[in-house]
Amino acid sequence: MNAEKAGTEDIEALVNMRLSYLTEDSGGLGAQDLAAIKRELPGYFQSHLDRDLFAYVIRDGQAIVSCAFLLIVEKPMSPAFINGRTGIVLNVYTRPAFRRRGCAGSLMEALLSAAKKMDISVIELKATKDGYPVYRAAGFTDDDSGYRVMKRKNR
């Protein structure tokens, strides 16, 4: 499985992959959320792809069957991210018929290689039970910083 960087010509397919990921991850999307994502996501990709968002894909012929996103975030420097450039891995998703063939591992290799060339200090992700072994094999470790991840919805 060869991973490659996606381009703006892949936006429609990336939207579909994101929707598949979100649907599977959340157990389904409401009609309002689905409509909003379909409407707004192409513009997001158009504005961010190859600027602060990098998408890596695996194809079967012309069809994208697996993808992973790397979002670059610049923060004030600290010992935890000495140059302030951090990455967040998002949307690692493989279509069901192509799972257990090494797609996620290949995507992570390409993504991590690119992150190294971009001088990213640290890369974070949230792992599912199925994805955890893939990320461990790629060198990710459990966060034992003592901080608890928290969030607050703002809508």
How confident is the model over 7-59, as pLDDT tens digits? 999 999 999 999 999 999 888 888 999 999 999 999 999 999 999 999 999 99
Domains identified in the chain and CATH numbers:
3-137 (3.40.630.30)
Per-residue confidence (pLDDT) for residue 154, from 0 to 100: 84
CA distances from 29 to 13, 24, 64, 73 (A): 18, 9, 22, 27
For residue 108, the surrounding DSSP H or E stretch is helix 103-117
Distance CA 10, CA 33 (A): 22
For residue 4, the surrounding DSSP H or E stretch is strand 3-5
Which residues neighbour 73 within 8 Å (Cβ) at sequence distance 6 or greater?
52, 85, 86, 87, 88
Q: 102 pLDDT band (50/70/90 cuts)?
A: very high
How confident is the model over 106-129, as pLDDT tens digits? 999 999 999 999 999 999 999 999
Section 69-89 average pLDDT: 95
Average pLDDT of the chain to the nearest whole number: 94
By the 10 Å C-beta count (0-12 exposed, 13-18 middle, 19+ buried), 124 is classed as middle
As a whole-number percent, the residues of the chain with pLDDT over 70 amount to 100
* 102 touches 92 (CB < 8 A): no
Per-residue confidence (pLDDT) for residue 138, from 0 to 100: 96
Section 138-149 average pLDDT: 88
DSSP tag of 81: B
Q: What are the tokens at 85?
A: 């450039």
